[in-house]
Amino acid sequence: MNLEATLALLAAAAAVFFVARHFHERPYEPGRVWQPPWLAIMFVSALFAVGALAHLFTLVTGTPLRGRFAP
């Protein structure tokens, strides 16, 4: 992925996170049958944002991130 795609993924993940946060904080409406799992959507979008930030770091610095147990 190039820089533009990484920034677009980061922006999309942040937008999804804040929209899900908005809907998660709305008060409960009695009589509504189903609500999407907003907390799980926030978690997944935050995970994508952290991954995009790590990839952005590798693109900017030029050094890949190494795992804890990598040789």
Q: What is the per-residue pLDDT across 2-57, written as a single tens digit (0 to 9) for each?
A: 999 999 999 999 999 999 999 999 988 888 888 899 999 999 999 999 999 999 99
- d(Cα 35, Cα 15) in Å, to the nearest integer? 19
pTM for the predicted model, two decimal places? 0.83
SS (H, E, C) the chain: CCHHHHHHHHHHHHHHHHHHHHHHCCCCCCCCCCCCCHHHHHHHHHHHHHHHHHHHHHHHHCCCCCCCCCC
Gap between the Cα atoms of 56 and 63, Å rounded: 11
